[in-house]
Structure 1
Amino acid sequence: MTHHHINYIEMAACDLAKTEHFFSRVFNWQFEHFGPDYRAFSSSGLAGGFYKSELRACTKLGSALVVIYSVNLEQSLQDVELAGGEICEAIFSFPGGRRFHFIEPSGNELAVWSDL
């Protein structure tokens, strides 16, 4: 294992079941339950977990932004919406690619980007 690299991220979730269902359906993440208040995820490129909390991650409040890569940005946007996610920033261009931001069922803001 490389010394001093990011290998795990934890995020708050007020509704663990809805959050797990959303990320499983849209991004095909795999989940493992560790008691009633924690769910670890894998198959995401970076391992992590959701812990039970009423708090939410939002960039306007200074939160870090988790950004997911996609080879088909429009399809990812459609999948997010179909699974109950809310688009909070439509697709826009930036140096190096395009992306959109969304709110998942527990209220956390994330983004999806593509260099295509």
Structure 2
Amino acid sequence: MARPNYIELPASDIAASKAFYHQAFGWELTDFGPSYAATMTGDVDVGLQGDPTEATRAPLPVIAVDDLEAALLAVTAAGASIVRPIFAFPGGRRFQFLDPHGNELAVVQAD
């Protein structure tokens, strides 16, 4: 079943963002390179994207699916515009789309 499992936040200063979320909520964030950090709870996790060429302008909800290609076909058939075709990253593959109202979301299939 498809369900939201991740939220990616734009974060121009990773260190400051990590410090804020740790102080405010006690979150421990794992670094994945110099411009990305994420919680690793296994529930709905939060990622901080510090690379301005990769970051979206607003929070990016991420929906987990079992079949990425089928999800791509389904969102396209439902009227979505693909803004980032399928790409790989450590831990899986995903794509990003705009829904008919202009909201950007991602769909991920874990390795």
- What's the TM-score, normalizing by structure 2? 0.50
TM-score normalised to structure 1 length = 0.48
